[in-house]
Amino acid sequence: MILDPRWFIIVISASLTYGAMSPITAARRMYYLASSLPHSALLAAIIAHPLSQFLGGSLALWSLAVGIPLSYIVILLVQRGVPEDVATAVFVSLSVSASVAAIYYVLTTFPPRESLWSYIIGDPLLASWHDTIQAVVISVVSIVLMIPHYNRQVLLGVDRDYASLIGLRIKLYDYLFITSLSLATIGLLKVVGFVMEHVLLLLPASIALNIAKSSYQALLISTIASLAAGLLGLFLSLMLNQAPSATIGFVLLATYLLSLKGVRR
């Protein structure tokens, strides 16, 4: 069996990033938002194709330039008094409808430089060294934006009113959260895939919450579970000749089912 270091670098980077993001998403009760961001990531990646052909430049940079401001729609609506679930529903409706229109336009007008199908499934086994370096950079930036403020993000999820009373800069942490989450979903979309991002963002925290007794334990367990599932899923995909996204998802699902024993205890 031939093992390429790029596979491990990408899987480790993505697993650590989503494993760290997942408990913050859970603490802030933003599962719905997190599951909707891959839709905007897909839309941004599609729009980036014609932009890069018209104006030149990197597809990845254009995707980030389009996707991050797009994700701010939710925060802007919430800050204007719209309930978070309603704001997210509006955002999902916009991004899904626009994605379909953008896919049709790109496929019928431009010869894509990359397969749009790769953004749906994702495959680290086909990643270049450029994709690998990009994944590492995106992971580091996303984690640096979030982890130093982990306890404040958790507090915002537990008691937003109390956070406001003690003078916490709520808007700043809202934008830090959405920016780092958008970076992770958009920047890693090609190597992780649209479908797998949902699993990696949602399941690690669900596993941790069944076991952890504190917020920092939740962060540690979520990260370890995500990393272990990523590496084990990668090995299984090579042995079974299956897509890594699928095997990683099944490993995380099995881990979650095992963690339910912690709830019963």
Question: pLDDT for 98-115, tens place per residue?
Answer: 888 887 887 777 665 556
Nearest-angstrom CA–CA distance, 248 and 230 = 5
pLDDT at 122 over 60: yes
Q: Which amino acid is at 250?
A: F
pLDDT reading at 38 higher than 70: yes
Average pLDDT, the chain: 85
User: Which residue, 103, 125, 152, 135, is CA-closest to 16?
Assistant: 135
For every residue of 42-54, DSSP letters joined together read HHHHHHHHHHHHH
| pLDDT score of 241 more than 90 | no
| DSSP H or E segment with residue 235 | helix 215-240
The predicted structure's pLDDT at residue 77: 86
User: How close are the terminal C-alpha atoms of the chain, in Å?
Assistant: 41
CATH number attached to the domain at 5-193: 1.10.3470.10
**233 vs 77, 133, 242, 247, 252, CA distance in Å?**
38, 21, 10, 5, 9
Phi, psi of 38 (to 5 degrees): -60, -25
Tens of pLDDT, residues 61-92: 888 888 888 888 888 887 788 887 888 888 88
Residue 164: what residue type? S
Is the model's pLDDT at 13 over the cut of 80?
yes
Q: Which of 13-22, 78-87, 207-216 has the lowest mean pLDDT?
A: 78-87
- pLDDT in the model for residue 12: 93
Please tell me the predicted confidence (pLDDT) of residue 1. 58
